[in-house]
Amino acid sequence: MKLLLHIFQFIFIFNNFINSQLKKNFPENKNNDWGCNSAINNFLCKNPRKIIFLLINGKPCFECHSYVFLKLNDAVKYYYLHKTHSLKRFLITRKGVYCRFVKKYKSRTKLGQYNYNDILVKHHFPEKILKTVWGNCDYNCYAKNNFDFLKYGLLSEMNSYRRIHGIQNLMVSRDIDNMAQVTATKMAYYNGKYTNKTNKFGVISEVSNRVRANLILRRLFDKFFDNYDYSNNLFCQHFWKQTQILWRSTKYVGIGVAEKNSLIYVTFVFYPKGNINKKYLENVPLVTDKLLNYNLLLNFGG
């Protein structure tokens, strides 16, 4: 134990020494107010836009805390690492290069400065997924075959959100499907005042106007990408429904639908249950890098 403490102490002292020497070698450049120096790093820590989008030798790169990355997600993960105040932040990241050692860094071009959520919002994922899954399908379309079309569309929509996060599709379980249908039927019978109290399954129940039932998931995710903190590792009440849908360890789902008067009651039942404290980082990952269009950042102000 003492040996480990000595090792961490050495790393801390060595890192501070190296940084102090780098500061001497790289004085502040007044013409580049976003460059590689301590003053700018302090500014970035206070500024909501924390990642710089660069072109270096014609290649898109991302700078965070003076390290340069080829992939946005690597820069985001490095930024989150700094937020945690973990001792790991004193270790040199494997996927980034300190700006001093990047070839042609001095001739770099700044294209923008932003935070991760801004970029996700610019991609309009909820709108694109809605159009892809539903097209022009209205009530007369999704109510067919006792709402089988609605169930299929909602399943496809959930799996679309999972796929953009690099998570495998949910599979339908007949037993869980029956459980969800029973819950939805009781929800309709009791006018939405019924709750399926179970600790084994994750349960989400929604009520919608009969002609807008295909917008249930769009409404859930409409503000998710603006506000969800992907560095979060604890239960988040505001987004518990969205994180349950995305939960990597959840493999099976059942969907129940019931109609009463002008309302449609929808129940989703998930297994295994998600939203486990201190398991969020491994179960709600960043949006996969290959789906991020860097061209959208070219006109991003900052």
Is residue 236 scored above 60 in pLDDT? yes
Rounded to whole angstroms, the Cα distance separating 233 from 125 reads: 23
| 142 and 11 part of one domain | no
Q: Which segments within the chain are labelled E, that is strand?
A: 51-56, 59-64, 67-69, 97-98, 109-114, 171-172, 202-209, 252-260, 263-271
| Both structure tokens of 226 | 């603006």
Count of the separate structural domains present in the chain: 2
| pLDDT (mean) for 13-35 | 38
* 198 three-class SS: coil
Closest CA to 108 of 59, 66, 144: 59
Confidence at residue 218, expressed as pLDDT on a 0 to 100 scale: 98
**253 exposed, middle or buried (CB, 10 Å; 0-12, 13-18, 19+)?**
buried
Nearest to 172 by CA among 269, 276, 284, 274: 269
pLDDT value, residue 267: 98
Burial code (b: 16+ CB inside 10 Å, e: under 16) for 71-104 equals bbbbbbbbbbbbeeeeeeeeeebeebbbbeebee
Query: Which tops the pLDDT comparison, 118 or 84?
Result: 118
| Statement to judge: residues 187 and 221 lie in one domain | yes
Pair 75, 148 in one domain: no
Sheet holding 171-172, edge to edge: 171-172, 252-260, 263-271, 202-209
Q: Where does the pLDDT of residue 41 fall: very low under 50, low under 70, confident under 90, or very high at 90 and above?
A: very low
Q: Look at the alpha carbons of 184, 185, 187, 191 in this order and tell me if their dihedral is positive or negative.
A: positive
Instruction: Tell me the residue range of the domain where 170 lies.
Output: 124-286
**pLDDT value at residue 112:** 87
Between 186 and 58, the higher pLDDT residue: 186
pLDDT at 115: 86
Residue-wise pLDDT for 125-172, tens only, equals: 999 999 999 999 999 999 999 999 999 999 999 999 999 999 999 999
Q: Rounded to an integer, what distance in angstroms lies between the CA atom of residue 183 and that of residue 139?
A: 22
12 pLDDT more than 90 = no
The mean-pLDDT minimum among 1-10, 180-189, 252-261 falls in 1-10
Q: Which residue has the tokens 């518990």?
A: 240
Predicted local confidence at residue 32, as pLDDT? 35
In a domain, 270, yes or no: yes
On whether both 165 and 279 belong to a single domain, the answer is yes
pLDDT of residue 85: 67
Residue 277 has pLDDT above 60, yes or no: yes
Furthest-apart CA atoms within the chain: distance in Å: 74
**When comparing pLDDT for 13 and 296, which is higher?**
296
For residues 12 and 91, membership in a common domain is answered with yes
Domain membership flag for residue 302: no
**Quick one: three-class SS letters along 273-302?**
CCCCCCCHHHHCCCCCHHHCCHHHHCCCCC
Comparison of pLDDT for 205 and 41, the residue scoring more? 205
The span from the CA of 133 to the CA of 215, in Å, is: 11
The reply to whether 184 and 244 lie within a common domain is yes
Give dist(CA 178, CA 199) in Å, integer: 18
In this structure, the answer to whether residues 145 and 18 fall within a common structural domain is: no
For residue 212, give the CATH number of its domain: 3.40.33.10
